Amino acid sequence: MGIQYDSATGTFHLRARSSSYIIQLVKGQYAAHVHWGRQVRGTNPGGLLAIRRRCSFSPSTDPDDLTLSLDTLPQELPSYGSSDYRVPAFQVQLENGTTVSEPTYVSHRIYAGKPALEGLPATYVEQAEEAETLELVLSDALIGLKVVLTYTVFRDFDAVARSVRYVNESGRSIRLLRALSFGLDFDRADFEAVHLSGTWARERHIERRPLTTGGSVIESRRGASSHSLNPFLALVSPDCDEDRGEAYGFSLVYSGSFLAQAEVDPYGTTRVVMGINPFDFSWLLEPDESFQSPEALLVYSSEGLGGMSRTYHRLYRTRLCRGEYRDRPRPILVNNWEATYFQFTADKIEDIARAGQELGLELFVLDDGWFGKRDNDRSSLGDWFVDREKLPLGLPDLAERVQRLGLQFGLWFEPEMVSPDSELYRTHPDWCLHVPDRRRTTARHQLILDYSRADVREYIVHVLTDVLSSCPISYVKWDMNRNMTEIGSELLPPERQRETAHRYMLGLYEVMERLTSAFPSVLFESCSGGGGRFDPGMLYYMPQTWTSDNTDAVERLKIQYGTSLVYPISSMGAHVSAVPNHQVHRTTPLELRGHVAMSGNFGYELDLTKFTEQESELVKRQVALYKELRGLVQFGQYYRLRSPFEGNDTAWMFVSEDGKEAMVLYVQVLSEPNAPLRKLRLKGLQADADYRVWDADLPEESEDRFGGDELMHVGLNLPVWKGDFRSRLYRLKTI
């Protein structure tokens, strides 16, 4: 790992764990992209860039050198207006209304460690020697715009963290119309784009398609990273699969509207840009003010998508997530939402918690409905005062009753929202996002609090602090159940209205920072109607996310498999729920529901008091088994073996860091008549070690023994089943 600058050729060679990223200053001015991929020694990095004369329609910045055109030069941060027609990474507007800029190289700085980004979530290092950082300073002296490009390479990861700071040094105001986090030009276009798409209850399904001229746009305009498209894009070589081929991942540490774009030009090059969505965005920079873009994590893998995912998992789990729970096993919980919805009493909650205690569960979570007059979703958001009709003795009494049973107590909030039917809204009707004289469009009967306002933020921090200090609360579920409309803020002047959505995000991050640091022992889980804000920005504050409101085990195969492309398993909430399933009305066996939920942060979300004796026995075994396996699941290496998007069966596995222990899940969704005999090749084991292999639901003595090489290169013989929705968990341990 390290960054070298060769002044003779103007090249910067950034070396991450086993990859190289090379930048060259062309004519000492333009930061050109040379290479990102496998590590090279650096024999002649200055001789790698191909610059050729294009046709006369490509304007040249130097009439005496027709080889130099910004329209064809591979660049690190393309600007707009002075000859590059491809998609720009940023665009400014001056007081005179013009929008042209062309910053060129001024200076650079290389140093150990990684800087924090003020007010924004970002990856971090614990020791300076874990990373090295390059700051490349460009400037357009004519208009007084300075642009600072930051690159961090990590010793332990094939990742480059990129972000940009836009600084106004002009003495006049400059408006940013677009201020993305990076640009990168590949000198090839033989890529396929992989991204995650979906909607509520169907989040993060994997899509893959070849890039063609013109390219691909992945974006959210919803004011949240969203259920629809995730702030993630990968470009992969056509031969790339789980284990082979090249994968270039781009993941944005941001929770609001974003843009990721891959544009292929007629010369077969590909430009990738990513950052805050410029749609309905602008930012006024007064003299000496600066704007910090969110961070993007660029991950390179020469070991296919599997290698890329494992880098993201470890990077995000250990150097993005923070707090006491980062490295701690997560408790097995029971949540009352699908058990009672809004209708519960303190006694009913205690009954569920008691049943949980008998089954070995560790945390009870009281979901929506405990405050104001919240008997349905039409009222009370914002009134974070206990509903004495449901809980006459208040939260301290309930928390104590739950704790007496030996379970921790957790609580649901939706702190960014206000119901029009609430005391808060009646007192402060101007505290929500809105546009004067326009309808305030509701979704789920609620409006969004204007977190760009300091008074709103103070109020929320204050009321949540009160509740969280009022009794022993060990866990908070932070929900958010709608996207933005009428994006405007009462306190911002007209020329700053288009800043509202990003100011909201900055305000939200500030509130989350304050609350999570004030309550460091509380485990925070983010949620947005399930996985509507499953993004790296949230993981910085809250190390886990409720993956989806869809708890059906079959649907979860796709949702959890897709989510694993980027996000660590320790970040995925996964619960066993009742059948017929509330979202899709499918009836699946308790065994399958348990197996799929055990592949994440395990819990139950149903009325535990309704189990038959036989079911209770099975659940007790599931809970005991997960206690043995959770270290492996939450902190092991994850391998995808069979895709639910490609067939009737799904398989994935977890391997401990030392390769001595593993767990494999195999699921067959529908029964097949007279099916062929099948084998499942495992991954990540030690080829020269021997393993005991047994069905996790049977006693250990039922074991078989195989070499790691046999399991990986020949494969496990899979069972032949009759009946739908069958699954098996295998455990492996070295002998």
For ligand DGJ, give the closer residue by CB, 158 or 555: 555
166 binds ligand DGJ (CB under 6 A): no
Residue sitting closest to ligand DGJ (CB): 368
For ligand DGJ, give the closer residue by CB, 246 or 479: 479
Task: Look up residue 293 and give its DSSP letter.
Answer: P
For ligand DGJ, give the closer residue by CB, 306 or 369: 369
| Spatial distance between the Cα atoms of 635 and 587, rounded to a whole number of angstroms | 31
Tell me how far, at minimum, the Cβ of 128 lies from ligand DGJ, in Å. Answer: 40
Tell me how far, at minimum, the Cβ of 371 lies from ligand DGJ, in Å. Answer: 12
Tokens of 496: 């700053």
Binding mask 353-382 for ligand DGJ (x = CB under 6 A): --------------xx--------------
Residue of 260, 527, 538, 685 that binds ligand DGJ (CB under 6 A)? 527
Tell me how far, at minimum, the Cβ of 555 lies from ligand DGJ, in Å. Answer: 14
| Spatial distance between the Cα atoms of 656 and 674, rounded to a whole number of angstroms | 36
549 tagged catalytic: yes
| Spatial distance between the Cα atoms of 465 and 477, rounded to a whole number of angstroms | 15
Tell me how far, at minimum, the Cβ of 369 lies from ligand DGJ, in Å. Answer: 8
Tell me how far, at minimum, the Cβ of 255 lies from ligand DGJ, in Å. Answer: 16
187 tagged catalytic: no
Site for ligand DGJ in 594-633 (CB under 6 A): none
For ligand DGJ, give the closer residue by CB, 240 or 417: 417
For ligand DGJ, give the closer residue by CB, 369 or 488: 369
Residue from 86, 60, 22, 88 nearest 267 by CA? 86
3-state secondary structure of 605: strand
**Segment contacting ligand DGJ (CB under 6 A): 383-391, 394-402, 420-428, 523-531?**
523-531
For ligand DGJ, give the closer residue by CB, 45 or 529: 529
Question: How does DSSP assign 261-279, residue by residue?
Answer: EEEE-TTS-EEEEEEE--T
| Spatial distance between the Cα atoms of 78 and 419, rounded to a whole number of angstroms | 44
For ligand DGJ, give the closer residue by CB, 367 or 697: 367
Residue of 507, 530, 537, 644 that binds ligand DGJ (CB under 6 A)? 530
**Segment contacting ligand DGJ (CB under 6 A): 149-157, 188-196, 236-244, 527-535?**
527-535
For ligand DGJ, give the closer residue by CB, 16 or 448: 448
Residue of 230, 380, 481, 526 that binds ligand DGJ (CB under 6 A)? 481
Tell me how far, at minimum, the Cβ of 409 lies from ligand DGJ, in Å. Answer: 16
Tell me how far, at minimum, the Cβ of 536 lies from ligand DGJ, in Å. Answer: 19
For ligand DGJ, give the closer residue by CB, 333 or 696: 333
**Segment contacting ligand DGJ (CB under 6 A): 434-442, 525-533, 675-683, 708-716?**
525-533
Site for ligand DGJ in 317-346 (CB under 6 A): 337
For ligand DGJ, give the closer residue by CB, 163 or 481: 481
Q: Is 116 exposed, middle or buried (0-12, 13-18, 19+ CB in 10 A)?
A: exposed
Torsion sign across C-alpha atoms 448, 453, 455, 457: positive
Classify the phi-psi angles of 118: left when phi > 0, otherwise alpha if psi is within -120 to 50, otherwise beta: beta
**Segment contacting ligand DGJ (CB under 6 A): 173-181, 389-397, 464-472, 522-530?**
522-530
Tell me how far, at minimum, the Cβ of 367 lies from ligand DGJ, in Å. Answer: 5
529 binds ligand DGJ (CB under 6 A): yes
Tell me how far, at minimum, the Cβ of 583 lies from ligand DGJ, in Å. Answer: 11
For ligand DGJ, give the closer residue by CB, 532 or 659: 532
Residue of 30, 283, 300, 412 that binds ligand DGJ (CB under 6 A)? 412
Tokens of 484: 């933005």
- Residue 130 to residues 120, 152, 156, 293, 658, Cα–Cα distance (Å): 21, 10, 7, 23, 22
Could you tell me if 543 and 322 are in contact, meaning their C-beta atoms sit under 8 angstroms apart?
yes
Radius of gyration of the chain (CA): 27
Task: Look up residue 61 and give its DSSP letter.
Answer: S
Task: Look up residue 330 and give its DSSP letter.
Answer: P
Which one is catalytic: 84, 549, 552, 649?
549
Tell me how far, at minimum, the Cβ of 525 lies from ligand DGJ, in Å. Answer: 10
479 binds ligand DGJ (CB under 6 A): yes
Query: Taking each helix axis from N to C terminus, what angle separates 553-563 and 590-597, rounded to the nearest 10 degrees?
Result: 10
Could you tell me if 637 and 661 are in contact, meaning their C-beta atoms sit under 8 angstroms apart?
no
| Spatial distance between the Cα atoms of 478 and 501, rounded to a whole number of angstroms | 19
| Spatial distance between the Cα atoms of 419 and 447, rounded to a whole number of angstroms | 6
Tokens of 248: 């270039």
Binding mask 541-570 for ligand DGJ (x = CB under 6 A): -----x--x---------------------
Residues 6+ apart with CB under 8 A from 324: 520, 521
| Spatial distance between the Cα atoms of 296 and 117, rounded to a whole number of angstroms | 12
**Segment contacting ligand DGJ (CB under 6 A): 135-143, 289-297, 526-534, 705-713?**
526-534
Tell me how far, at minimum, the Cβ of 513 lies from ligand DGJ, in Å. Answer: 23
384 binds ligand DGJ (CB under 6 A): no
Q: Is 26 exposed, middle or buried (0-12, 13-18, 19+ CB in 10 A)?
A: buried
Residues 6+ apart with CB under 8 A from 195: 206, 207, 216, 218, 229, 230, 232, 233, 234, 260
Question: How many residues sit in the footprint of ligand DGJ (CB under 6 A)?
Answer: 11
Could you tell me if 730 and 717 are in contact, meaning their C-beta atoms sit under 8 angstroms apart?
no
Q: Which amino acid is at 137?
A: V
Q: In what order do the strands lie in the sheet with 30-38?
A: 2-6, 11-15, 19-26, 30-38
Which one is catalytic: 479, 535, 552, 697?
479
3-state secondary structure of 179: strand
Cis, peptide link before residue 644, omega less than 30° from 0: no
Tell me how far, at minimum, the Cβ of 337 lies from ligand DGJ, in Å. Answer: 5
Question: How does DSSP assign 610-643, residue by residue?
Answer: G--HHHHHHHHHHHHHHHHHHHHHHHSEEEEEE-
Could you tell me if 319 and 152 are in contact, meaning their C-beta atoms sit under 8 angstroms apart?
no
For ligand DGJ, give the closer residue by CB, 478 or 666: 478
**Segment contacting ligand DGJ (CB under 6 A): 53-61, 159-167, 524-532, 581-589?**
524-532
For ligand DGJ, give the closer residue by CB, 412 or 602: 412
Tell me how far, at minimum, the Cβ of 481 lies from ligand DGJ, in Å. Answer: 5
3-state secondary structure of 517: helix
Site for ligand DGJ in 21-40 (CB under 6 A): none
Residues 6+ apart with CB under 8 A from 413: 384, 464, 467, 476, 477, 478, 479
By annotation, the residues acting in catalysis are 479, 549
State the residues that interact with ligand DGJ by CB under 6 A: 337, 367-368, 412, 479, 481, 527, 529-530, 546, 549
